[in-house]
Copies of this chain bind each other. A is one copy, B any other.
Amino acid sequence: MIKKNSPIPIYYQLGETIKELIEKGELKPGDVLPAEREYAEMFQISRMTVRQAFTQLVNEGYLHRIQGKGTFVAERKPKIEQALQGLTSFTEDMEARGMKPGSQLVSFEIIPATSLIAKQLGIQEYGPVYEIKRIRLADHMPMALETNYISANFIKGLTEKIVNQSLYSFIQEQLGMKISHATQVIESSIASELEAKYLQIQPGAPVMLIQRNTFLKDGTPVELVKSSYRADRYKFMIQLNR
């Protein structure tokens, strides 16, 4: 399990091992871990090395320590990861609110990028871009009208079928890209005729416009999402820790 003659540091190996146990569910939130001294003896390594592994996981939000009692699996997932989840996936957002998410495809096209979209996606003007329009449902009622823009050269093999599943997990898992950060712009507006029709509200009723740009670690834009949420059904919530 732990290789002492590996170029990978022991504390790192141990840390990853514990992370896996947590993610597999073998260690559940609130569980107490074996004591530092136990790990040290178990793997025949120094207690300080165990502490180095623990400390890193504490900093990442996986564990918390209580002097005299023990080290425990944290109740919540790491805060940064949590924040991004809420931002990236409509599905998970709705599930967190106790509602059943759904989706209804309005249109699925490849269009030439307008200058504004091209700029935001970091591609050439008139370059091919997927434009995916969907009505987002919560408990079978319209919650938002969402339009995704993704460079067709960047993400290949997108089909209507995939769109019915999670676009976000397709990007992340199938293409092996890891989204590192996102910007959101939120503004308040009133529903246009078109929005009103799709959202089943009156024209002029308040809506919340959310524009999200997501990026890879190196700053490459991944996608652009413009959404109109029904103000009577949706509140945007955010918690900033520390």
Q: Which residues of A come within 8 Å of B, CB atoms? A: 55, 59, 80-81, 83-84, 87, 180-190, 204, 206-208, 229, 231, 234-242
Chain A residues touching B, majority SS: strand
Shortest Cβ-Cβ A-B pairs, 10 listed: A188-B231, A188-B208, A188-B188, A186-B236, A188-B206, A187-B235, A80-B242, A183-B239, A181-B241, A184-B238
Check A181–B239 contact: CB distance below 8 A: yes
| CA distance in complex: A206, B187 (Å) | 9
Q: Min CB distance, A182 to chain B, in Å?
A: 5
Residues on B with C-beta less than 8 A from A229 are 188
Residues on B with C-beta less than 8 A from A186 are 186, 208, 235-238
| CA distance in complex: A184, B84 (Å) | 16
Given A188-B189, A206-B206: A183 touches B87 (CB 8 Å cut-off)? no
